[in-house]
Amino acid sequence: MTARFPSLTLLLAALALMTSACSDTDSGSCPAPDDNIMWFHIYETNGFLSQTKCVLCDASVPEEDWLDWALNNADPAGTPSNLSADEATPCLYVYGDANESEAKCEAAVCSGNAEVNDPVQQGHGAWTEVNDYLPNASTESQEEDLPGTEGEEEEVETEGTEGTTLL
- Spatial neighbors of 6 by CB under 8 A, at least 6 apart, are none
The whole-angstrom separation of Cα 37 and Cα 55 is: 10
The whole-angstrom separation of Cα 109 and Cα 107 is: 6
SS3 113: coil
CA neighbor of 24 nearest in space, from 60, 58, 51? 51
The whole-angstrom separation of Cα 20 and Cα 47 is: 8
CA neighbor of 106 nearest in space, from 67, 71, 56? 56
Provide the residue-wise pLDDT of the chain in tens; the chain has 167 residues: 455 556 666 665 555 555 556 888 999 999 999 999 999 999 988 888 999 999 999 999 999 999 999 999 999 988 888 999 999 999 999 999 999 999 999 999 999 999 998 999 999 999 999 998 888 776 443 333 444 444 444 444 444 333 333 23
The pLDDT score that the predictor gives to residue 124 is 94
Distance of alpha carbon 35 from its chain centroid, rounded?
19
Where does residue 1 rank: exposed (0-12), middle (13-18), buried (19+ CB within 10 A)? exposed
SS3 19: helix
CB 35 within 8 A of CB 84: no
The angle at the Cα of 71, spanning 43 to 66, to the nearest 5 degrees, equals 70
CA neighbor of 52 nearest in space, from 91, 20, 92, 24? 24
CB 142 within 8 A of CB 103: no
